[in-house]
Amino acid sequence: MRKVITLEKTCYVFLKQGGEICNRLNRGAKVCPVKRKGDWIQITWRNGKKKGWIHNSVELINGS
């Protein structure tokens, strides 16, 4: 099972690093980090059905 992290603040999700905004995740959303690249983190949510990139400045809370 992948590590689950809870978002501490609302954040925008991008299709590519610094590219077009494709979604917004509210505070408390549970995401799974896939990989890190510079200041960006690739995530999945909704059981891996959705994918995107968030900026590393977003505060994360470690979950179960």
Distance CA(57)–CA(30), nearest Å, equals 17
Tokens of 29: 């959303």
Q: What is the pLDDT of residues 25-36, one digit of tens each?
A: 999 999 999 999
**Does residue 52 register a pLDDT over 70?**
yes
Q: Answer whether residue 24 shows pLDDT above 90.
A: yes
Alpha-carbon distance 21 to 5, whole Å? Answer: 21
pLDDT at position 60 over 90: no
pTM for the whole structure: 0.84
Domain boundaries, the chain: 5-62
Instruction: Report pLDDT for 59.
Output: 66
Residue pair 14/52 in contact (Cβ under 8 Å)? The answer is yes
State whether CATH 3.90.660.10 applies to domain 5-62. no
41 within 8 A of 52, measured Cβ to Cβ: no
